[in-house]
Every structure is written in C-alpha cells, then in structure tokens.
Structure 1
Amino acid sequence: MSMRKEGEVVCVTGGSGYIGSWLVSLLLRRGYTVHATVKHLNDEKETKHLQALEGAESRLRLFQMDLLRYDSILAAVHGVAGVFHLASPVIVDQVQDLEKELLAPAIEGTKNVLRAAKELGVRRVVVTSSVSAITPSRYWPADVVKDENCWTDVDYCKQIELWYSVSKTLAEKAAWEFAKEQSLDVVVLNPGTAMGPILPPNLNASMLMLLLLLQGCTETYEDVFMGSVHVKDVALAHILLYENPSATGRHLCVEAISHYGDFAAKVAELYPEYKVPRLPRDTQPGLLRAKNASKMELGLNFIPMEEIIKDAVESLKNKGFIS
C-alpha cells in the first residue's frame, strides 16, 4: 500500500546536488510536483539542469534556501505533504570555519527543516544521512557485519579531524531526537559512496574520488568507505522509503559492504587504459564484507558494482572530465 496520492507536492532540500537532482528527476517522472531548494536562484550551475528535466516546466518550483534562515525553509516547505532533506554541506578537505561552514548547517539546519515540517503538518520526512554516520566505529564487534545498529564513533572522528562524519552523525542523532520529542514521522537513508551518471555541471565528492582514482591517486579512504551504490538506486530508495507506510528507522543503502580496494581493483579491470594504482586488498581494516547488507526490503534490486563503475566512468567521459 503506497502513501502517495496523485499529483502530490513534496519538497527536496539540496535539490541541485548530485543525489538531489536524480531524486527530483525521478519524482517528476512519477507525477509529483516538486519544491526543490537551491542555494542561489540566480546561479545557472544550480538551476539549469533542473529546469531541463522532464516535467519541470509544469511541476517544478525552485526556492532559494539557507539552512540557518528559518523563514526561507518555511517558504519551501509550505503546502507540501512530504520532505526529502538532502541539503547538508559536503566538505571533505580542510574546513576554515568548522562551526559556520559544516556543523551548524548540518545539525541546526536539519533541526530547522524538521521544525518547519512539524509546524506545517508534513506527513513524513525522509532524512538523507550517510554511511559516515555508521562507520568508523571502534567498538563494534569484530565478528559482526556492520548494520543499522552501528553508529560512528564521534570522539574518534574528532581526534582524527574527520569533520564530515561528525557532522552527519550529529545531524542524524538530532533528527531522531526531534522526531521522538515532537512525534514527527521520520525515516533515514544511509547511502554509501554514490556514483553513476552526472546531472549537475559540477563534480561531487564521490565522483571526484573516482576521477582521482583514474588519474592514479593512491588514497584509500580508510575511515569513510563502506561500499558503493548507484546514484539512481539512492534516489529510488528515498522514494520507496517515503511511499511505504511501514518503513521505519535507518536504512543502510549500499550495493554491498565492500572495501575501497575491491572497488579500485574492479575499476582497474574494467578500464586498464587508465593509471589506476594497485591498492592493498583490505583498505578498510576490520570491515567485514557482505553481499546483501542493505535491508531495503522495499522492492529495490541494487545495480551491481560493475555497472555502477561503467555508468560513472562513461558519464565522466561524456562530461569532458576525462578523455
């Protein structure tokens, strides 16, 4: 039984991003009317690819939103039945102003979006978290496959300055706290490294990771990688969580729990013409591999790693990032 009603209006925060753009595209194709938020309405890099989507002319409205300006959130959420909260800063390099650039938008921004959803009577909020809120976790039993019960060790991440993981973990915890206190229907998606065809003009962090690998980068992403997932599967998973009334809790979203070394070896095998480095097999010490790790029992058959890589590399070629 689906919760969806014909012509329903939903809001996607961070609608111009890599996953957000695919989510907006799939929602429009399914007949939804979408309020998509962007940082700057007058920036074509954020708006042009969305306005070109099928169905956008009649059923897409763009809103300029600042996660720390509550009135801008209210405007975007007004009149919608559901909210997909994807907007959160992704800064994996050095952060100049940690609180202002990363932590406040992620944590306070999530609370603001949920507060607006509660105030305006939204039926369900799907929050996009990450495997960064599941791993690294020092105290997880070594012989148990990581799942939705596993939480990132925030103190460890602070020690090694893994601030993105700190931001995602604290934001998700804040979401659960708010949902409990305010009786708001919240479900959470924890995607792995999303890759595949690119809709926006800019490269996101996960596709940049692949590009750097093709160029010979030997980084192993020891504390952040847990498996890859096709960007279309991530977008579809959001919709399945929204439409399925029985969906609750957290949902790990990876094609399989694997090591970055497995991923790099597959890229090297499929694309021998690039200088893909030989990495150790076990790049994530102690991470147990698992084929069907995701409990997405919502009718989602994950696209396998080989196809994820092919779609992603071909898109990098088509967009001119590699020749």
Structure 2
Amino acid sequence: MSGEGKVVCVTGASGYIASWLVKLLLNRGYTVHATVRSLDDPKKTEHLLAFDGAKERLLLFEANLSVEGSFDSAVSGCVCVFHTASPVILTSVYEPKVTDPQKELLDPAVKGTLNVLKSVVKVKSVKRVILTSSMAAVMFTDRLAESAGGVVDETWFSDQVFCERLKIYYHLAKTLAEDAAVKFSKENGLDLVVINPGYVIGPLLQPTLNFTSEGFMNFIEKGKEVFPDRIYILVDVKDSVVAHILALEKPEANGRYCMVGYLIRAQEIMMILDKLYPDRGYSLRYKDNCVEAIPYSISTAKAESLGVEFTPFEVSLKDTIESLKEKKFMNP
C-alpha cells in the first residue's frame, strides 16, 4: 500500500467528497487526521469510524474554519493536507438562498482556507496541499457566452464581477477562496494542487443528505432544475476523490485540474433514466429524442494525464439513485 507510514490530514472530513477521501486513503494504508466541526455529533463521526482501518489509523480532530490556529493539531506531523472544508449553498440566478453572502459563504470560504494554510506553514513535514475547489471557480464568466464551440480548460477563471452581477455567491466564494489559496501558497512557498470538480454525483457514505445530492435528487424526482440553462456539469464522487489521491502520489501533479466526467443536458438524463427505470414514468418528462447540442466542451486532457479514468455516466447515475434509495432519501 503506497500510503503506509504516511500521515495526511483531511479537513471537513464528514462531507460528501471528504468521506470518500478518508475511506480510500485508509484503504491505501495512510494514517488520516480528519477534522470535523464537532466531535460530539455522531452524524459527523460514526461513519468515518466504521471504515476499514479507522480503528488503527484514523484520528479525529475538532476544528473550526473561522478560528485561526484551529487546525494546528490536525496538520501536525502530516506530509499532505487535503482542504475540502467549505460551506456549500448553491444559489439560483433569480432567487439567492443566502441572506448574508459575506457572512454565510465568502468569509468562511476565504478566511477558512487561509486559516488552514496558516496552520500548514507552521509544519515542516507538509510537502503538498491539495485544495478542493470547484468548476464554479473556472467557467462562470462572460467568456463562456462569447466562446461558442470553445473548450473550457484549466486556464479559465470565473469572473468576480460576473458572479456578483448574477448573485451566484457560492461560485464567487469558490473563486475568491481558490485565488486566495494560490496567492498565499506562492508567497509562503507551499506546493499547492487544486482539484476543480463539477457537480458531484454518485453514492453517499455520510448519513445526512448533502446539498448537491439533494439538488440532484429533486431534479430526478420532481423535475426541478438546479441550473437554469439545463446543462449539467457532472463528475462521479469517486473519480473526484481518485484525482485528489493521484495529486498527492504523483510528484509531477501541478496547478489545477478540471474534473468533469459528463457534460449533459437535462433531457438526455431523463432519457437515460427512462432506460434504467422504465416503470417510473421518466418518458413523460421529455418530448422526443432530439437533444440540443451543448455549445461548449470541457477538457479532460489534464485530468486524464494525471491518471483519472472517468466512470461511465449510466453507472454513476444508477449508483446515485440506488444509494439515495438505500439511505431512504428517495422512494424505492
């Protein structure tokens, strides 16, 4: 096992991506320092403690993004820190779901990221930091509308003014947090690798329903749209986590990595659902077999050069639904 004898830290360990990250790191032999907001909340800790290897190689730490120095103990002795912790509140273009964007999203994302990195610079053993950012920090810019037929890749950056204009504060928070992390890392000599997943789907490990899974479930069950343009930018949670681990284990990993396995319209998702679950009436949710072309593409070249092999969409879709049903979030 490549992680034997190595200690790594995962912040926000009870989250959707982070729970899978802890599980797969333990599977690979790593000792994991996992931070949660409260050690007294069994919904944050019990599923982590149940993983294979947890008894021997998982240590839980309580840490708060808003408190400087809160992560000092967790990162001590680690060779790598995976910073996944960040508030997730997706906002509609038309109806923001936050009342105070600065307090609820922007400050926790930016100041929280810097607080983690301030803890990291105190620790000589840390060789690399891997930041979980988002495609929200990549492609929300006027450039997308101006680049019909263009290819979105790692050189793209979301525009602060664009995000503020559309009141998409989660996207703004991710953009500002990534920018702050890159600047801090350059100033302090940290080796930073950034993973930018799309909208994450796939099976859940944590006992609670996370925001992204809930949004996708609402679309599947009720036809509600998460994005008004009806285009879904998706990635399997396990593919995203594999990218994080490869970013640790491959010395040549650098910069940022767009992680999008599927660029797909809502109507096409319904057509696939109809094949997978023909008795659930998904055929009533689309009119014909003509799916409008998507006016841009997203490059997978850099992610694939890292060694990522994307899961087929039908597999991810079925895994998502079966997991939601198993955990009784969705009707059987």
| Shared fold (TM-score, shorter chain, > 0.5) | yes
2:67 maps to 69
Q: CA contact under 8 A between 2:263 and 2:297: conserved in structure 1? A: yes
Q: CA deviation at 1:38?
A: 0.6
Unaligned runs of 5+ residues in structure 1 are: none
- In the alignment, structure 1 residue 55 sits paired with structure 2 residue 61: no
Among 116, 131, 135, the alignment partner of 2:135 is 131
Q: CA deviation at 1:294?
A: 5.2
1:247 maps to 253
Change over 3 Å in CA distance of 1:272–1:109 after alignment to 2? same
1:278 maps to 286
2:310 maps to 302
1:235 maps to 241
Amino acid across the alignment from 2:308: L
Change over 3 Å in CA distance of 1:160–1:275 after alignment to 2? farther
1:160 maps to 166
2:13 maps to 15
Q: Could you list the per-position Cα deviations for residues 233-271 of structure 1 after superposition, in whole angstroms to 9, with x for gaps in the alignment?
A: 111110000111101011001113334443343234322
How far apart are the structure 2 equivalents of 1:225 and 1:82? 35
Q: CA contact under 8 A between 2:9 and 2:74: conserved in structure 1? A: yes
Q: SS of the residue aligned with 2:152?
A: coil
Among 148, 156, 163, the alignment partner of 1:150 is 156
Among 106, 109, 113, the alignment partner of 1:110 is 113
2:94 maps to none
Which one is further off, 59-68 or 270-279? Answer: 270-279
Unaligned runs of 5+ residues in structure 2 are: 92-96
Q: CA contact under 8 A between 1:136 and 1:224: conserved in structure 2? A: no
- What pairs up with 1:186-205 in 2 under 5 angstroms? 186-205=192-211
1:318 maps to 326
1:98 maps to 101
How far apart are the structure 2 equivalents of 1:302 and 1:5? 23
Change over 3 Å in CA distance of 1:99–1:53 after alignment to 2? same
Q: CA contact under 8 A between 1:36 and 1:76: conserved in structure 2? A: yes
How far apart are the structure 2 equivalents of 1:251 and 1:225? 21
For normalisation by structure 1, the TM-score amounts to 0.92
Q: CA deviation at 1:226?
A: 5.0
Amino acid across the alignment from 2:169: W
For normalisation by structure 2, the TM-score amounts to 0.89
Q: CA contact under 8 A between 2:65 and 2:115: conserved in structure 1? A: yes
Amino acid across the alignment from 1:219: E
Q: CA deviation at 1:293?
A: 5.4
- Equivalenced residue count is 319
Q: CA deviation at 1:126?
A: 0.3
Q: CA deviation at 1:202?
A: 1.0
Q: CA deviation at 1:156?
A: 1.8
How far apart are the structure 1 equivalents of 2:297 and 2:55? 44
Q: CA contact under 8 A between 2:230 and 2:266: conserved in structure 1? A: no
Amino acid across the alignment from 1:242: L
1:182 maps to 188
How far apart are the structure 2 equivalents of 1:268 and 1:291? 28
Q: CA contact under 8 A between 1:9 and 1:32: conserved in structure 2? A: yes
Change over 3 Å in CA distance of 1:155–1:309 after alignment to 2? same
Change over 3 Å in CA distance of 1:293–1:222 after alignment to 2? farther
1:257 maps to 263
Which one is further off, 95-104 or 311-320? Answer: 95-104
How far apart are the structure 2 equivalents of 1:170 and 1:253? 19
Q: SS of the residue aligned with 2:143?
A: coil
